Amino acid sequence: MTKAQAQKEIEALRAQIHRHNYNYYVLASPTIPDCEFDRLLERLIELEKSYPEFVTPDSPSLRVGGEITKEFPTVTHKRRMMSLSNTYSSEELREFYKRVQKALSNEGILAFEMVAELKYDGVAISLTYRDGVFVQGATRGDGVTGDDITSNLKTIQTIPLRVQESPATRALLNGEFEVRGEVYMQKKDFEKLNAQRAANEEPLFANPRNAAAGTLKQQDSREVAKRKLTMVAYQLESEALNDTLSHIERLKLLDELGFNVGKASRVCTSLGEVEEFLREWESRRDDLPFEIDGAVIKVNDIRQRNLLGETMKSPRWAIAYKFSARQAETGLNGVTCQVGRVGTVTPVAELQPIKLAGSTISRATLHNFDEIKRLDIRIGDTVVLEKSGDVIPKIVRVVDSRRPPSATPIEPPTHCPECGTALVKPDNEVNLYCPNEDGCPAQRKGRILHYASRNAMDIENCGDAIVEQLLKENLIADAGDLYSLEKSRLAELERFGEKSAQNLLDAIERSKTRSFDRLIFALGIRHVGLATARALAQKFPSITDLQAASLEALQETDDVGDTIAESIFTYFQKPSTKMLIEKLTRAGVKMSSEQVERVKNARVENKTFVFTGTLESLKRDEASSMVLARGGKVSGSVSKKTDFVVAGSEAGSKLEKAVQLGVKVLTEAEFRELMQ
């Protein structure tokens, strides 16, 4: 074969594969069998290996993955990727509609259209195309900057590597344009992924959104390709387009370019039509092959959008309407009790398995026995189950009319279900506790799992089954013993081999470099969360200082009250704690704070910050370090002394309290600007 012949066949194969990909993944109407498609792709890969000079960035062969990304570069969005205001209320939706109506009428515009779309529960991304070829993809991040995840996005079949040309799209093909959309995982692919992870004894993803987010940050694009993500496009921006082209017309252009735009977008000329769309899709959401958590309502006319403008955080021309939490009725078969790492006894409802919001629920926490009494729950009852935020299942009420005569009241246990020790209930607390800290196997296991958890020492592959096995084999008694494990002994255990044993030991070795505040958190001291651990690390720069701290000195620490101070002081007096600290010190774990490199910033110095919600482009400890380096303080609770509350997505009660107290609330982008 000559070079010219090879080039001609490669171009023909690419065209065929692009067309078949579009038919299969976007139109859901394949025209050839999978085996024939595989043969076309194998032939293309074979030719490109023989003639690498003909490989181009839009080749379908690049979708199979293979690139390893050690870190994701930061990119700046050309247009800010804003988040939408959310509402769960029909009344707030009507108020939004009236605000738009009033603002446009002030400009002499009496009629306008809204476009209603499904709100896919996934991860927002931005795609850049140059001369019709996909050149860069990024996460939303904080709206101003995001992570460059181009190699991972290339593996997603519904993202065209080269767009389709038509008379309508020709103007876009010379120059640059941007497509925004949502990457998500279909329900069947999510269930398959979790089944594989369960078989490998890996932690399960809570929902498809978490699975999609975790997948996009994988370092190995081959792993991303295996997980079969999907993208739906919902926005097109280009200097080649003028503002007379409406949003719905831009969606049609995206469709012609070869993007998946979904099938549910609807133009509404009245609030009634918007409400009808919401009622229809809330009732149909469980029938969809993917998760949605609501709908997005947008003004259709781009010129009208420009008139309405935007706030610092959200556009004034769009709103996200969140559907109510999904509920189902099921039977309560019994109640079991779990014992946590600090001895907390938590009742758990054992339910008749039921499908709810895309997963089968057979257990739900009952929190404590006061909650059981408040709800008057009895074994044999029919209960109403709800997925809070469509993630965490909880029982919200009993169906009294369906209570059988045989329903049995639930009595609190008197002894620990794990070790048989008599339980205690401290004054002014609702929980029961097992006081056998050192002898209770559930508490020992819980403390080690907490030590190895992601926000603590982040020891990969040290999950529930592994810790259980190490305890059973008497290889460890506490977290300090992890650093004495030997490869030869591990390799002899079931589930282990040479490679898996080495992987665990490598992860344990890496944990020695974690910051001092994370070590304090990892110790599992009752009432000490991440924010309190940071405050302790600030005041007591070494483990020796912290061990020697008086009760009064602890009480004077920011974010530490009398109860927490007493808990910390008592913890460091225990012989078991002293033994653990000795083991960690001998192992070479970092036992003191590093000298923080100071950055002069008068706007931050001596100011107190509280973080709430999920930050898109920063880990919480990274953001806290930025504050500390500038002479600021980080607290875990909002008070009148708080200067700034930084609110990420899904911010909760801390944001509400900040608003009530009049505390300045910052978006993530505003926080970054303040740090400069």
pLDDT given at position 600: 84
**Predicted confidence (pLDDT) at residue 275 exceeds the cutoff of 60:** yes
pLDDT given at position 65: 56
Q: For the residues 572-593, what does the mean pLDDT come to?
A: 94
**How would residue 11 be classed by pLDDT, with cut points 50, 70 and 90?**
confident
Taking the alpha carbons of 551, 557, 561, 563 in that order, is the dihedral positive or negative?
A: negative
What are 528-559's pLDDT values in tens digits?
A: 988 788 889 888 989 999 999 999 999 988 77
pLDDT given at position 40: 84
What are 482-511's pLDDT values in tens digits?
A: 999 999 999 888 878 888 899 999 999 999
Contact 305, 411 (CB under 8 A): no
What whole-number percentage of the chain has pLDDT above 90? 51
Helical axes 530-539 vs 620-629, angle rounded to 10°: 30
219 compared with 568, residue with greater pLDDT: 568
Q: Domain 608-675 in CATH: superfamily?
A: BRCT domain (3.40.50.10190)
Render 420-476 in DSSP notation, one character per residue: -PBPB--TT---EE---TTT-HHHHHHHHHHHHSTTTT--TT--HHHHHHHHHTTS-
Please confirm, yes or no, whether 154 is among the known catalytic residues.
no
What are 308-331's pLDDT values in tens digits?
A: 998 767 899 999 998 887 788 999
393 compared with 581, residue with greater pLDDT: 581
Q: For the residues 157-174, what does the mean pLDDT come to?
A: 88
- The number of angstroms, rounded, from the C-alpha of 327 to the middle of its chain's C-alpha atoms is 23
What are 29-65's pLDDT values in tens digits?
A: 777 876 787 788 888 888 888 888 888 777 777 666 5
**How would residue 67 be classed by pLDDT, with cut points 50, 70 and 90?**
low
For domain 86-322, the CATH architecture is 2-Layer Sandwich (3.30)
What are 504-516's pLDDT values in tens digits?
A: 999 999 999 999 9
Highest mean pLDDT among 239-243, 442-446, 660-664: 442-446
Q: What is d(CA 632, CA 624) in angstroms, rounded to the nearest whole number?
A: 9
pLDDT given at position 305: 95
Please tell me the CATH code under which domain 441-511 is placed.
1.10.150.20
CATH of 516-587, one of 2.80.10.50, 1.10.150.20, 1.10.10.2840, 1.20.120.530: 1.10.150.20
Mean pLDDT of the chain: 88
209 compared with 66, residue with greater pLDDT: 209
What are 18-31's pLDDT values in tens digits?
A: 788 777 666 667 77
Q: What is d(CA 52, CA 568) in angstroms, rounded to the nearest whole number?
A: 63
Q: For the residues 213-226, what does the mean pLDDT come to?
A: 86
Q: For the residues 382-409, what does the mean pLDDT come to?
A: 86
286 compared with 397, residue with greater pLDDT: 397
pLDDT given at position 618: 78
Catalytic residue among 8, 49, 119, 574: 119
Which of 429, 475, 426, 425 lies closest to 448 in space, CA to CA? 475
Contact 421, 440 (CB under 8 A): yes
**Predicted confidence (pLDDT) at residue 386 exceeds the cutoff of 60:** yes
Q: For the residues 75-89, what does the mean pLDDT come to?
A: 86
pLDDT given at position 27: 67
Q: For the residues 568-583, what does the mean pLDDT come to?
A: 95
CATH of 327-409, one of 2.60.40.790, 3.30.360.10, 2.40.50.140, 3.30.450.20: 2.40.50.140
Beta-bridge partner residues of 371 = none
For 631, other C-beta atoms within 10 Å of its C-beta total 16
**How would residue 200 be classed by pLDDT, with cut points 50, 70 and 90?**
low
Q: Domain extents for the chain?
A: 3-64, 86-322, 327-409, 441-511, 516-587, 608-675
Q: For the residues 449-455, what does the mean pLDDT come to?
A: 90
CATH 1.10.287.610 fits 3-64, yes or no: yes
Intrachain domains 327-409 and 516-587 with the same fold:
no
Lookup result for tokens 């020790």: 421
Q: For the residues 364-372, what does the mean pLDDT come to?
A: 91
Lowest mean pLDDT among 118-132, 237-251, 652-666: 652-666
